Amino acid sequence: MIERAQPLGRLTEEEILSQPNAWRTALRRCQEYFPEWRRTAAGPAALTFFVGCGTSYYLAEAAAAAWRALAGGEARAVPASELLLFPELYLRHERSDRFVLISRSGATTEVVKAAQFCAAEARAQVLAFTCREGSELAAAAAQTFVFPEGFDRSVVMTRSFTTMLAALIAFAGAEPASLAPLPEAGEALLRRFAPVAEQWGSRDTAAYVFLGQGPLYGLAREAALKMKEMSLTASEPFHSLEVRHGPKSVIAARSAVVVLSSAASRQWEEQLLRELAQQGAATLRIDEEDGDCALASGLDLYRRLPLYVLPCQLLALMRARAQGVDSDRPRALSAVVEVRLA
């Protein structure tokens, strides 16, 4: 029998390609959950904190931006560890804050402890978004919204990130049906960009830089983390226009610069990419209409945010394969980070 070796990172690839279907299920679920969300979370809160760790923290950043833009509420993202270790920098007893804790597993030590801590603050409302039923996080939250279709069996988070992001955007915009075009746009984008990612993966690249402004900065941070976790490649995120204020000095011939762009920053970023290309860098612009990777969603910036992540995940996967790195077995990482203090 001829046994064909499975390509490296096969499980992670399957989960990357499964995202549009996961979004279809999640958006249907959002319709079911929405009355409960509106009942528990639409009330006035002085400030809504979106909280997570690692990938889930960057999800919190994108969700906070969507909440400010679409729900018009005051919101910010914070790593769970900050709430635990420096609560005085964030909590105000005279304010009635809302905490939305985000965790694929619902078991990450910092997130569970942060939920328990905030719940103990009498005036705080604690909600949770997760991909696993019956988690410790759910036990600490007043209300938990579970999206099992987003759960990743792989260590690195891919579909859990975009599925929970789509749900949080749907809730922030108060109309889940407005994201209906997302899955089909995602399927077309994955098909269109796969050969580009393969070509980029085999380039001689020393380091990646991911850029974004506004709600895209949190996604640039997630893209840089994916490139690290999946391919062991040095990668850094910046606000796009921050690059001239120092980081530009290390961008050279073996640099790859990827910008997540949109109308508000497009002209500025096109000029910046021209300058970085003159320094020898390979550049790629992900945008709605034109550029090297067109999302072609027909959606507004906030409702198409999950789409920006797909090409970045494919870039990391193909880079890993080209380097002989197995994204399914990331170095020194575990699917759930549990800390037992001595």
231 lines the binding site for ligand F1P (CB under 6 A): no
Strand order in the sheet with 282-287: 234-239, 207-212, 255-260, 282-287, 293-294
111/272 with CB nearer ligand F1P: 111
108/283 with CB nearer ligand F1P: 108
Q: From CA 31, how far away is CA 243, in angstroms rounded?
A: 41
98/104 with CB nearer ligand F1P: 104
Q: By rule CB under 6 A, what string of x and - marks binding of each residue 138-167 to ligand F1P? A: -----------------xxx----------
- Per DSSP bridges, beta strands 48-52 and 293-294 are unpaired
Q: By rule CB under 6 A, what string of x and - marks binding of each residue 298-337 to ligand F1P? A: -----------------------------------x-xxx
In whole angstroms, what separates CA 35 from the centre of its chain?
Answer: 25
Q: Pick from 159, 150, 193, 143: which is nearest to 43 by CA?
A: 143
Site for ligand F1P in 78-107 (CB under 6 A): 103-105
138/273 with CB nearer ligand F1P: 138
Shortest separation between residue 175's beta carbon and ligand F1P, angstroms: 26
Provide the 10 A C-beta neighbour count for residue 241: 14
290/338 with CB nearer ligand F1P: 338
Site for ligand F1P in 37-66 (CB under 6 A): 53-56
* Residue choice 19, 48, 108, 265 for contact with ligand F1P (CB under 6 A): 108
The count of chain residues that interact with ligand F1P, using the rule CB under 6 A, is 17
Q: From CA 277, how far away is CA 186, in angstroms rounded?
A: 29
H or E segment to which residue 237 belongs: strand 234-239
| SS3 state of residue 278 | helix
Amino acid at 311: P
Phi, psi of 114 (to 5 degrees): -65, -40
Please report, as ranges, the residues that interact with ligand F1P according to CB under 6 A. Answer: 53-56, 103-105, 108, 111, 155-157, 229, 333, 335-337
